[in-house]
Amino acid sequence: MIGNMRSSFKYKYSIIVMMLFEYAVINAQTVTLDWKLHDIGKVRQVVTNTGWLNAKNDATFDFPGLINCEYPPGSREEHITEAGPWIGAKVNGQPLVSVVRGEEGEFWPSDESWDTMWVVHRGDTVNIGDPVNPYWQNYVGVSDEDFICRYNDYNPVSLRKADHIPLYLEVVQVSYSWGSPPLDEIIVVNYYIISKHYDLDSVYITNWMNGNVGYGETDAFGLDDETYFERDKTMAISTDLPGGEDGTAIGPIGQRNYFPPIPPGRDSSLTFIWYNGQQQGIPHTNDDRWRDMTRRVVMENQVSTGDGTKHIVSLGPYHLEKDDTLNFSVAIILGKGIQGIEDNERVLNVVRAKDYKIPSAPPSPPLKVFTDNKQVNLNWYPEPGEINPEDYTDPYRADSLFKPFEGYRVYKSTQSQAGPWTLLAEFDIPEDDYGSNTGIEYEYTDVGLLNNVDYYYSVTAFSKPDKVINFPPLESSISANSHTVVPGTTPPETVGKVAVVPNPYRGDEAYYTYNPQWEKPTGSRERWMEQDRRIQFINLPAECEIIIFTLAGDIVAKLYHNDPAKGYEDWNLTSDVGQAISSGLYLYAVQDKRNGNTQIDKFVIIK
């Protein structure tokens, strides 16, 4: 489970110390570490089974390409570096605080193979945990994408932290994400805190966040941010100042805290504190954390010093009996500007009041994709046994429509499976009071495309509005049903028409700006680099070898092609010894491995 160790200037804490601790933990004790990415809606957010709302650049979880709290999809605009809860309480008069992974983690899952991230969809019923003795029996999915996990502060890994004294807490964490409006810019994280050993008094719940907002690929990411607090909503909002190296953000991030009510007879102690990111940072010791989370102070709005922002929001005191549960929630709210966050927060309050029992979108149609020469055919006719969106029912509608399906929408992108998307067509039920009454279709053909380049398509289903409660039409997730498609011809019988495109290749041409992109970064990178250069050998037979050599006869590279459905092969202008080739005239020979036929030709590189 351990990824590559990489340091990052974006982190305001000592990554080296943290990574050494992780390696010591993992080597000394096995834990079942897992993470999932909420990506069904417009927010891409990492969730882990250590309670940490991040796994990027973390030696425990990291893999290339991981992004954290990206909004909107494909923008590379991030909003959280790290976040999670602290729980504090007094044991025999001694204040103790247990914190999630964060800067010094004290919550970890067990080593059981089932103590992972569980994924449940709306309406599905699942037993969560041990198959014999599940910790959540008959869990019913609430959102389009529920993640459930469990961790505690008293297992052997937690106890290896020298200064950690456990509260003996078990936490069951459940996060919700939706694939369609009006909730697709919101992620809700619910925490169920169970005291396994003590009757706990003076319990304080703290949610902390390193709310870095902006373009996540720069070293200055998040340094020009500031946080303010809306006390009546217990909502902290982290914003990005306009300009700066990390750009001007599309939207800030709201952390809406839903704390349980303070028991009668206790004085409520609400705290909001912001910290300068690099210079000050979140408190690191048990005593300092307890001091801050119980301070009963709401600070004035932060004014950026170019040093980033972190904050905590805390409420208490509560009482938690042994084996009882204390539940609280945090909503991560995104949107276009402050107004977008405020609007989404109001919608969420309405939905929470209904216990999330609101109308839902139809399921995604069963999309099948077929390619041809310069065209793509899409078909979503539901075959027997496949999910049919037209048959879906919704018990939470107020208008009592038995089958609220209304139609289909066809989308296309030339950039990525995350969009941006262009609406190509809409087909809806004829002769009713909704939409354009075009009639239902199950097929769409997109023509005039370029062969051998990536296109992205999706087909969604949408419902009728619920006019009784003024609820809008709901649409299935575009991204969840997206497909990468490469139009083109099938391989020819043999060589004879092999060609290179572009020819000549010009080094001063920004091919990565073409639409669709001819050259684009590979892997997780967003920025074009030298190794992303691309020429393409087209009209290749199914199995052949391509040898590229100089006019002097020196072999530059060998490519082997073996694909009965694809008649092309890409080359990044890099030799077999890893060197970028220079300008010049190059020869190539293509040998058909099935019959020995060979074609020789040339191409030109101009750098």
pLDDT tens digit sequence for 194-211: 999 999 999 999 999 999
- Six token digits for residue 210: 């390193």
Report the alpha-carbon distance of residue 146 to residue 176 in Å, rounded: 5
The answer to whether residues 151 and 181 belong to one domain is yes
Q: Is residue 245 part of a domain?
A: yes
Cα angle value 304/307/309 (rounded, 5°): 70
The answer to whether residues 347 and 372 belong to one domain is no
The answer to whether residues 454 and 529 belong to one domain is no
| Residue closest to 392 by CA, chosen among 439, 480, 460, 438 | 460
Report the alpha-carbon distance of residue 218 to residue 223 in Å, rounded: 10
Q: To which residue do tokens 């009713």 refer?
A: 432
Report the alpha-carbon distance of residue 250 to residue 77 in Å, rounded: 8
DSSP state string for 382-408: --TTS--GGG---TT-SS--S--EEEE
Report the alpha-carbon distance of residue 535 to residue 507 in Å, rounded: 11
Q: Give residue 564's Cα distance to chain centre.
A: 35
Range of the domain at 237: 15-353
Report the alpha-carbon distance of residue 592 to residue 545 in Å, rounded: 7
Domain boundary among 452, 485, 518: 485
- Identity of the amino acid at 451: N
Please give the share of the chain, as a percent, with pLDDT higher than 90.
Answer: 72
Report the alpha-carbon distance of residue 207 to residue 293 in Å, rounded: 9
The answer to whether residues 328 and 448 belong to one domain is no
SS3 state at 310 = strand
Report the alpha-carbon distance of residue 410 to residue 112 in Å, rounded: 44
pLDDT tens digit sequence for 85-94: 999 999 999 9
- Identity of the amino acid at 227: T
Q: Is residue 127 part of a domain?
A: yes
The answer to whether residues 461 and 507 belong to one domain is no
* Total domains present in the chain: 3
Q: To which residue do tokens 């103590």 refer?
A: 115
Q: Do the Cβ atoms of 411 and 458 come closer than 8 Å?
A: yes
> Which region among 25-29, 191-195, 522-526 has the lowest average model confidence (pLDDT)?
25-29
**Structure confidence at residue 254 as a pLDDT band (50, 70, 90):** very high
Residue 479: φ, ψ to 5°? -65, -35
Q: Is residue 19 over pLDDT 90?
A: no
Give the mean pLDDT of 178-201: 95
Q: Is residue 523 part of a domain?
A: yes
Q: Is residue 10 part of a domain?
A: no
pLDDT attached to residue 202: 95
- Residue 602: which CATH number? 2.60.40.4070
Q: For the chain, how many helices (H) and strands (E)?
A: 4, 34
Give the mean pLDDT of 128-157: 96
pLDDT tens digit sequence for 387-445: 999 999 999 999 989 899 999 999 999 998 888 999 999 999 998 988 899 999 999 99
Q: Is residue 491 part of a domain?
A: no
Report the alpha-carbon distance of residue 304 to residue 311 in Å, rounded: 13
Residue 343: φ, ψ to 5°? -65, -45
